[in-house]
């Protein structure tokens, strides 16, 4: 349940989380503390992202991540910030990150907790050196394994089991958007006081929404016939416009605020698409659906897919409900 908040009041994320906790008599405060810790990590990452144009932190390192992609310094920094913000708190059983190969255990010297945190520390990092918005995406599950310190099965849970999900977009301002299953709420960082302030309570994808599709159309010739027909329909009879930033968090943020259809389909070069189920698709699916939209892999709900491996990829369609349904019917060949 979402606590009513007088619109004229300045509400920090800390105040908001404490107020939300009051609606859960069983709450111990652990979950609230976890969200605080993530918000703190977001502020530290935001500070470094903002400084990136000023200091010589740009440029790729020699290292590659587990997907064979070049990792930039800020990715590794953001990864470390999140791990260090969470590993000593006693709230987390284990973690997984797009930038780390296997499970990230809690070091032996620290107590382990009941939550599992999965994150993409800095998505869209190829956009850093052209000053385009990038973001952090995270997802929280409850530990389900018997052991105290978490296991792979704790991370391999479907999106429907998420207890919370969120993202931070580092754009013209830094915004943190999250859901814990009671609507989607957005906070804007006021850098002068170092606080996230509630700016977008109860976010809903507008209805009717803007007719906008968002996809990397350069892959057109590699798409299935059905995918090609869908996009041809959208831009011709459909009367859609097009926007594609090429930064997932920023593209989804726009879709939440204005509506539309975001797609990262499978193609002959990437038969499972590019985006990862656990780090990118499932958390955003929870947010989009909590905001009244729909999230699909083209045939089934993204939230219901049972992950088989940490770094699994999935085709992805999300945004306004009617547009995702339209995409599904084209992909099924029924239109």
Residues at the site binding Mg ion, with contacts judged by CB under 5 A: 120, 123
The reply to whether 129 sits near ligand AHM by the rule CB under 6 A is no
DSSP 127-194: GGGGT--EEEEEEEEE--SSSTT--HHHHS--GGG-SEEEEEEESSSEEEEEESSS-EEEEEEETTTT
- Contact partners, residue 248, CB within 8 Å, separation at least 6: 123, 124, 135, 137, 264, 275, 280, 284
Q: Give the burial string for 86-124 (b: 16+ CB within 10 Å, else e).
A: bbebebbbbbbbbbbeebbebeeeeebbbbbbbbbbbbb
Binding region for ligand AHM (CB under 6 A) out of 6-14, 85-93, 123-131, 284-292: 123-131
**Residue with Cβ nearer ligand AHM (69 or 226):** 69
| Rounded Cα–Cα distance for residues 214 and 235 (Å) | 11
- Continuous H helices in 13-91: 13-21, 30-51, 73-86
**Residue with Cβ nearer ligand AHM (64 or 207):** 64
For the bound state, the minimum distance from the C-beta of residue 263 to Mg ion, rounded and expressed in Å, comes to 16
125 binds, among Mg ion, ligand AHM, none (CB under 5 to 8 A by kind): ligand AHM
Q: Which of 28, 70, 173, 216 binds ligand AHM (CB under 6 A)?
A: 216
**Residue with Cβ nearer Mg ion (279 or 330):** 279
Q: Which of 21, 72, 89, 125 binds ligand AHM (CB under 6 A)?
A: 125
Q: What is the CA radius of gyration of the chain?
A: 19
**Residue with Cβ nearer Mg ion (240 or 264):** 264
* Cross-strand bridge partners of residue 176: 168, 187
216 binds, among ligand AHM, Mg ion, none (CB under 5 to 8 A by kind): ligand AHM
Contacts of ligand AHM in 270-299 (CB under 6 A): 274
Binding region for ligand AHM (CB under 6 A) out of 21-29, 169-177, 245-253, 321-329: 245-253
**Residue with Cβ nearer Mg ion (283 or 298):** 283
Whether the CB-CB separation of 6 and 19 falls below 8 Å is answered with no
Whether the CB-CB separation of 228 and 220 falls below 8 Å is answered with yes
| Rounded Cα–Cα distance for residues 90 and 307 (Å) | 26
Q: Which of 170, 178, 248, 317 binds ligand AHM (CB under 6 A)?
A: 248
The reply to whether 246 sits near ligand AHM by the rule CB under 6 A is yes
The reply to whether 123 sits near ligand AHM by the rule CB under 6 A is yes
**Residue with Cβ nearer ligand AHM (124 or 259):** 124
Contact mark string toward ligand AHM, 53..72, x via CB under 6 A: ----------------x---
């Amino acid at each position: 349940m979402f606590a009513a908040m007088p619109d004229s009041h300045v509400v920090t994320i800390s105040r908001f989380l404490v107020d939300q906790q009051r609606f859960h008599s069983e709450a111990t405060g652990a979950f609230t503390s976890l969200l605080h810790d993530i918000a703190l990590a977001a502020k530290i990452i935001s500070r470094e992202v903002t400084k990136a144009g000023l200091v010589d932190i740009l440029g790729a390192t020699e290292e590659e991540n587990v997907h064979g992609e070049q990792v930039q310094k800020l990715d590794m920094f953001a990864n470390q910030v999140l791990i260090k913000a969470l590993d000593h708190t006693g709230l987390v059983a284990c973690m997984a990150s797009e930038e780390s190969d296997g499970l990230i255990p809690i070091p032996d010297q620290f107590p382990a907790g009941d939550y599992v945190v999965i994150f993409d520390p800095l998505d869209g990092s190829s956009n850093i050196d052209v000053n385009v918005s990038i973001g952090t995406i995270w997802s929280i599950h409850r530990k389900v394994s018997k052991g105290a310190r978490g296991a792979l099965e704790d991370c391999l849970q479907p999106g429907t089991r998420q207890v919370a999900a969120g993202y931070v977009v580092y754009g013209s301002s830094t915004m943190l958007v999250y859901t814990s299953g009671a609507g989607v709420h957005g906070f804007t960082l006021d850098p002068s006081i170092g606080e996230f302030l509630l700016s977008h309570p109860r976010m809903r994808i507008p209805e009717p929404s803007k007719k906008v599709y968002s996809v990397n159309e350069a892959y057109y010739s590699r798409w299935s016939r059905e995918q090609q027909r869908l996009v041809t329909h959208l831009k011709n009879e459909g009367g859609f416009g097009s926007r594609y930033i090429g930064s997932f968090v920023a593209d989804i943020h726009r879709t939440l605020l204005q509506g539309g259809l975001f797609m990262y389909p499978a193609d002959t070069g990437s038969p499972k698409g590019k985006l990862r189920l656990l780090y990118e698709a499932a958390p955003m699916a929870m947010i989009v659906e909590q905001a009244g939209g729909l999230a699909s892999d083209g045939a089934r709900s993204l939230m219901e897919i049972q992950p088989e491996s940490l770094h699994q990829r999935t085709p992805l369609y999300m945004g306004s409900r009617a547009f995702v349904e339209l995409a599904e019917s084209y992909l099924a060949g029924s239109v």
